[in-house]
Every structure is written in structure tokens, then in C-alpha cells.
Amino acid sequence: MKIVDIKYIGSAFFVCFVFIQTTLAQVGVGTTKPEGALHLKSTSQGLVIPRIALTAKNSENPVINPNGSNLVEGTVVYNTSKTKLGANDVYPGIYAWSGSEWNPQFIMEEYKKYTQTGSYQLTTIRDGYRTPRPDDADNVAGLTNQVFKPKYSGTYRIEVKTNFSAGKINDFTSLDKISLATMEGAFFFKINGAGVNIDPSSGTYDYELGWMYTHSYSAQSEIESPTIHESYLVPHFESVVHYVYFLADENYTFNLSNCMITGHEYFVGNGDTGDGQGRIGNDVPCTVEFTFIGD
């Protein structure tokens, strides 16, 4: 049996310990010349950070500090969960702890636009009404009972854009040199879902309830007789913006409709047939746009 002097074992252990401590001051993976406390180098592999299912944006759990104290600012994880709490929801992606909440290290954005279908839509005059009625209106093609499902919980900007053009007016009488007439009515935007209810039937001419007044003028002039100058299908553009709080992954059903009540007397075919009819979305279609603003 070979006897090893214990003093040599002790000396060897000390040298190894010092070497390890010196080496660990800078760690290089894939490189022998680390240029920082930790230097990773690879041409085909990435860094996999801890994958953890966070419970809420404002909660440290289930992430812990192994020293027993609060999480250190700058702690980074890859969150694998998607919550539906409301203001403190989290979504899959990289998060960093700020000291009080998890901040996403990715851009949270969403935009979706719904557009009227077809070249344009003809209107019908409901002359018997003094006020446009949401319960007796024509739905706009392509914007009827559509469903928007938000990606995030938070405030969304909804912009509703409408376009209405009046039809051709009747030939003026022998007493008139210039004739001018208008078609009037309203568009109605309705949307409902979890925590949201914009309903035009609950009020009158209130844009916050989805009402959008619309009108368009048509004209004829024979001042430069014998040439008759006509002007119709002149667009009237209207835009209303709503700010609402949506919950992620919930279905929100919306609808855009139109009711015209003025135009029978002065327009060709009582404003219900031929060139006398008004048009919705002539050249420029009606649209409904959803944009995520933030928590």
C-alpha cells in the first residue's frame, strides 16, 4: 500500500479551490475568453430561461428568491400562462420584475379593421318616422353581427366610420332656379359582451350610445340655362370613437345599421328607387376599427 502524505493532499485541495474561485469570477460557455460575468457563445443554440406560469402581473408567486427575501428587481422569467383577471393579466412571453410587478419585455399591440362589403348599399326612406329608429334599420353588409375577440385585457379604441350619399332630386318646378334637398337619418353602432354594452335603443341622438347622425345634400341649378347642373351622391363622412375595456379572449358582438327618415318628397322615386336612392359606402366603405391602447 502506498502511503500519501496528508500535507500534499491539503496543498492540492487548496490550489484547486483557489483555481475554481478564480475561474468562476467569469464563466464562458462556448468560449474560452468570457467578456462578462457570464458569456454564452453559440451559432446554433439559444438560451432557455426559466419557464414559469405566473399567476398575475402584480404577484411574485410562484417565483421565489432562494435567499428568502423579496424578488430582486430585474429577475427574468418566461411566462407560460395566460390569465383573465382584468387589470393584472399576463400573457405568454418574457417578463422582468420591477420590484412591484412583472413588466412584459415584448410589444403588446393589436389592430383589427372590419370593412363594409360590396361596392355600395342602397337606402330606404322611412318617411313615417320623426326620429330614426334602431329597431327598424338596415344592417350594413359586412358589418352585421360581427365578433371581435380581443387578444389582451385592457382599453381598446373603437373607431366607427360611416359614409352616406344622397340620391338625385326631382326636377325643380318652373319657379325655381336652384333646388336643394337633403336626406337625413342616422347610423347605429351596437356592441355587447363581457362588461361592455353600447346600445342605441337606450337613448336618442347620443353618440355615446352608438348614434351617428348623417345627412347629404343634392342640388340642381338652371341659372346657366339651358344647361342644367346636377350635384348628387355627395358623401357625408362621419366618425365616432369609443374607448372600452375588453377582457381577453371574450367574444364581443357588434353591428352597424342605418335608418333614413327624410327624402321622400324631393328625390327621384321618393328616394326609394333608381337614381333617387341614397348610398351607403359609395366609393369609400364604412369601417369599424379596433386598436389596443393599454392596460
- Beta strand segments in the chain, E: 27-29, 38-40, 51-52, 76-79, 93-97, 102-104, 111-115, 121-122, 138-139, 146-148, 154-165, 178-193, 196-198, 211-221, 229-231, 235-246, 252-262, 279-280, 287-294
Q: Which three cell numbers stand for residue 83?
A: 390569465
Q: What is the CATH number that goes with domain 111-294?
A: 2.60.120.760
pLDDT on residue 11 = 46
In tens digits, the chain (295 residues) has pLDDT values of: 444 444 444 444 444 444 444 455 789 998 988 889 999 999 999 999 999 999 999 999 999 999 999 999 999 999 999 998 888 999 999 999 999 999 999 999 999 999 999 999 999 999 889 999 999 999 999 999 999 999 999 999 999 999 999 999 987 655 567 788 999 999 999 999 999 999 999 888 999 999 999 999 998 887 766 556 778 899 999 999 999 999 999 999 999 999 999 988 889 999 999 999 999 999 999 999 999 999 8
Q: Is 7 helix (H, G, I), strand (E, B) or coil?
A: helix
Distance CA 175, CA 172 (A): 8
Q: Which H/E stretch holds residue 20?
A: helix 6-24
pLDDT on residue 226 = 56
Positive or negative: CA dihedral 136, 133, 137, 266: positive
pLDDT on residue 260 = 96
pLDDT on residue 150 = 97
Sequence-ordered list of residues with C-beta below 8 angstroms from that of 168, at least 6 positions apart, any chain: 218, 230, 232, 233, 267, 268, 274, 275, 276
pTM assigned to the model: 0.83
| Spatial contact of 118 and 220, defined as CB atoms under 8 Å apart | no
pLDDT on residue 90 = 97
Q: Tell me the domain boundaries of the chain.
A: 111-294
Distance CA 219, CA 109 (A): 46
Q: Which three cell numbers stand for residue 144?
A: 352585421
Using alpha carbons only, give the angle 257, 196, 139 rounded to the nearest 5 degrees.
10
